Amino acid sequence: GSQLSQLSENQETLAKQTEVRKLEKSENEKTVADAKSAEEAVAKAIQVLRDFYASSFVQTATTSRLSAAPKIFEGAYSPSGGDAVIAMLEVVQSDYSKLETTTSSQEISAQKDFDNLKSEMAILKVQQEKDVEHKKAQKGEKEQQIVGKHADLQNADKELTAAMEYYEQLKDSCLSSGSTAMERAQRRSEEIQSLKEAMDLLETGTPGTP
């Protein structure tokens, strides 16, 4: 009934939420991994630039060193220019670090919420299954009671039928016995009359009158 339907719906909801959580977890793990890799790459780039600037301004052949610098950093190979590039990369590094931390925190929170949902759904599932079993048991008891009452009714009907049949047999026997008694009385009366006539005949030789 409605309990079974609700139980089925809850299981479908949990299955969907499980799938969503699985995809979300995968995406978060990829984001964290990418952010960590990018952060490490930027950190290496910053270290390379710091080493480059340190060696550039210590050596006397600074001009020849600058002429061989990559185009992307042209105009930035003065102390102030180098600091600006490094500062920019440090901001990028910080952004990746924040992305990693925020995503990790979100993943922990999302997993906690999902675990709580699973626990609640598990408790609800047990309760609903107990309700279903209880209703099945009640239905079984009622059906058993109906079967028992039907059997009692059938037995009572059989007993009544047997009683009626016995009554009919008893009534026929009583009537039959009454009829036989009357017939016997009539026969005895006739036998007595025949005896009287025989006695009169022996005494007078003439049949007597009744």
41: three-class secondary structure by DSSP: helix
For the question of whether the overall pTM of this predicted structure is more than 0.95, the answer is no
Q: What is the pLDDT along the chain (210 residues), one digit of tens a residue?
A: 566 778 788 888 889 999 999 999 999 999 999 999 999 999 999 999 988 887 765 554 444 444 444 554 444 444 456 788 899 999 999 999 999 999 999 999 999 999 999 998 888 888 888 888 888 888 877 878 888 787 778 877 788 787 777 777 776 666 555 556 667 677 777 777 777 777 777 776 655 555
DSSP, collapsed to helix, strand or coil, labels residue 76 as: coil
Give the DSSP per-residue string, the chain: -HHHHHHHHHHHHHHHHHHHHHHHHHHHHHHHHHHHHHHHHHHHHHHHHHHHHHHHHHSS-HHHHHHTS-GGGTT--SHHHHHHHHHHHHHHHHHHHHHHHHHHHHHHHHHHHHHHHHHHHHHHHHHHHHHHHHHHHHHHHHHHHHHHHHHHHHHHHHHHHHHHHHHHHHHHHHHHHHHHHHHHHHHHHHHHHHHHHHHHHHHHSSPPP-
In contact, 14 and 85? CB cutoff 8 Å: no
